[in-house]
Amino acid sequence: MENTTIQPIKNIIFDLGGVLITFDPPGFIEKVIEPAEVQSRCHTLIFKGPEWIGMDRGQLTAEQAKQGMIERDPEMRPQVERFFQTWFDMFHTIDETVPILEELRAKGFHLYILSNYIRECYVYVRKKFRFFDYFEGEVISSHEGYAKPEKEIYECLLQKYNLKAEECLFTDDMEVNVEGARAVGINTIRFQSAQQFREELKKRGIL
């Protein structure tokens, strides 16, 4: 059950992956990794191991993470190297969400980013996608050393931009991250699709 807004919402906070930018690890692994019988093993090695978390927190560079993965499973070296050669191809704009940013800005809402994102990947998407121009501020996990759903990263955004939690609305495609925002008093919408998000905003009188 989503928490209800009490104070008027002034600030809308967006996650990136799965909301504004595509992020489908199994689908990407299936697309770029061969042979097919090692795809599941490769996915687990890359996305479920400590190195990915280390990159998210800014504790490891991509090169350090790659070497760590190879050391844990040397037989997967070709697949791991292939992944890191192509991983920026994972990221595309979710075009249906971008017009919502435009509408929110036109209505006078302040827009912010709060996302778990690897430093090298963030540098890439920040330069590539023009929708970042709609945002007034950002908190990125690899820059701060914290990651959602830890309360510190939500508090970091509130403190950095002098925001009141009850005046903020946060959207993320992962329930655990939505719950983390609720825990510090931020209003939330679990993002499932651009259309569903738009309808939720309408219900709240935001759009």
132-169 per-position pLDDT tens digit: 999 999 999 999 999 999 999 999 999 999 999 999 99
The total of other beta-carbon atoms located within 10 Å of residue 52's CB is 18
**pLDDT value of position 1:** 46
**172-183 mean pLDDT:** 98
Run of H or E residues at 11: strand 11-14
Pick from 126, 118, 168, 155: nearest CA to 14: 168
Helix (H) or strand (E) holding 141: helix 141-144
Q: How far, in Å, CA of 96 to CA of 53, rounded?
A: 29
The CA-atom distances, in angstroms, between 185 and each of 56, 160, 166, 180 are 24, 16, 6, 9
Residue 154 is predicted with a pLDDT of 98
Positive or negative, the CA dihedral 168, 169, 174, 180 is positive
The pLDDT of residue 5 is above 70: no
Residue type, 94: I
| Distance between CA atoms of residues 207 and 204, nearest Å | 8
Residue partners of 99: CB distance under 8 A and separation at least 6 = none
Res. 4: pLDDT tops 60: no
Cβ atoms of 80 and 52 within 8 Å: the answer is no
What is residue 25's three-state secondary structure?
helix
Q: What is the pLDDT confidence band of residue 100, given thresholds at 50, 70 and 90?
A: very high
C-alpha dihedral (120, 50, 141, 19), degrees to nearest 10: 80
| pLDDT exceeds 60 at position 11 | yes
H and E: helices and strands count for the chain: 11, 5
**First-to-last C-alpha distance (Å) of the chain:** 21
- How many whole angstroms separate alpha carbon 134 and alpha carbon 192? 21
pTM: 0.93
The pLDDT of residue 6 is above 90: no
Look up tokens 């809308």; give the residue: 12
**pLDDT tens digits, 12-50:** 999 999 999 999 999 999 999 999 999 999 999 999 999
